[in-house]
Chain A
Amino acid sequence: MSTEDADADGPRRFRLMKGLELTSRQLFYVFVGVLALFLVPEIQGFQSSLRVRTVYLGLCWGIAAVGVNLLLRHAELVSFGHAAFFGGGVYGAALAARYGGIEEAVLLVAAGVLVATTLGVLIGWLVAGYLDIYFALITLAFNQLLFAVVMGSPELLGSDDGLSVRPTSELSRPTVFGLELGPAQYEVLTYYVLIAVVVVTLVVTWRLVNSPFGRALDAIGQDRTRARFIGIPVKRYVWGTFVISAVYGGLAGGLYGLTALRARPEGTLFALRSGELLFMAILGGFQTLLGPIVGGVALTYMLTELRFATEYWEFATGFALLLIVFLLPNGVIGSLPAIVDGLRARARNPAKVSGDVRFLGGLLGSKLRDAAETTKILLFGVK
Chain B
Amino acid sequence: MLEARNLIKEFGELRATDDVSLRFGVEEGEMVFIVGPNGAGKTTLINLLTGLLEPDEGSVVMHEGTGDGTVERDITDMRPDKRVKEGLVRSFQIVHLFEEMTVRENVRTASLSNHGRISEMRSLDDEHETVERDVDELLEQFRLKDVADEVAETLPHGDRKLLDVAISFALDPDYLLLDEPTSGVGSEEKEYVIETVVEASKEQNVSTVTIEHDMDIVRDYADRMVALVEGRVFREGSPTLLDTDAELRRTLLGVTEDE
Contact = CB atoms under 8 A, between A and B. Distances in A.
Q: Is the pairing of A and B real?
A: yes
A230 interface: yes
Contact of B109 (A219, A225, A228): A219
A369 B184 CA distance: 46
Interface string A212-245: 1111101100110111111111100000000000
Given A229-B80, A229-B89, A212 B120 contact: yes
A19 B124 contact: yes
A20 interface: yes
B50 A229 contact: yes
B113 interface: yes
Given A222-B98, A226-B98, A228-B80, A213 B121 contact: yes
Contact of B101 (A19, A218, A229): A218
Contact of B90 (A219, A229, A234): A229
Contacts of B119: 212-213, 216
A348 interface: no
B120 A218 contact: no
Interface residues of B, number: 37
A19 B90 contact: no
B26 interface: no
B50 A211 contact: no
A366 interface: no
A51 interface: no
A15 to B, nearest CB: 11
A364 to B, nearest CB: 35
A211 B114 contact: no
B250 interface: no
A218 B92 CA distance: 20
A207 interface: yes
Task: Give the interface centre of A207, A210, A222 by most chain B CB atoms within 10 Å.
Answer: A222
B125 A19 contact: yes
Contact of A19 (B117, B118, B123): B123
A218 B97 CA distance: 12
Contacts of B108: 215
B23 interface: no
A231 B168 CA distance: 11
Interface string B188-226: 000000000000000000000000000000000000000
Contact of A226 (B79, B97, B105, B112): B97
Contact of A231 (B52, B85, B99, B100): B85
A232 B112 CA distance: 10
A72 B136 CA distance: 31
Of B89, B114, B118, B120, the most chain A CB neighbours within 10 A belong to: B118
Interface string A4-37: 0000000000000011100000000000000000
Contacts of B120: 211-213
A361 B124 CA distance: 47
A216 B124 contact: no
Contacts of A211: 120-124
B84 interface: yes
B114 A231 contact: yes
A211 B124 CA distance: 5
Taking each of B101, B122, B128, which has the highest tally of chain A beta carbons within 10 Å of its own beta carbon? B122
Contacts of A214: 121, 124
A208 interface: yes
B167 interface: yes
B109 A229 contact: no
Interface string B69-90: 0000000000111101100011
A20 B123 contact: yes
A18 B81 CA distance: 31
Contacts of A207: 121-123
Contacts of B123: 18-20, 207, 210-211
Nearest to A226: B96
Residue of A218, A219, A230 ringed by the most chain B CB atoms within 10 A: A230
B110 interface: yes
B81 A223 contact: no
A230 B113 contact: yes
Nearest to B108: A215
B101 A234 contact: no
A230 B110 contact: yes
A234 B119 CA distance: 11
A216 B118 contact: yes
B81 A233 contact: yes
Contacts of A234: 81
Given A18-B123, A207-B123, A215 B96 contact: no
Contact of B97 (A18, A212, A223): A223
Given A19-B122, A213-B118, A229-B81, 7 more contacts: A207-B122, A207-B123, A208-B121, A212-B120, A222-B101, A226-B92, A228-B80
6 contacts: A214-B124, A215-B108, A222-B98, A229-B52, A229-B96, A231-B85
Interface of B: 50, 52, 79-82, 84-85, 89-90, 92, 96-101, 105, 108-110, 112-114, 117-125, 128, 167, 170-171
List 7 A-B pairs, minimum CB-CB distance, nearest first: A19-B123, A231-B84, A226-B96, A230-B110, A222-B98, A231-B113, A212-B120
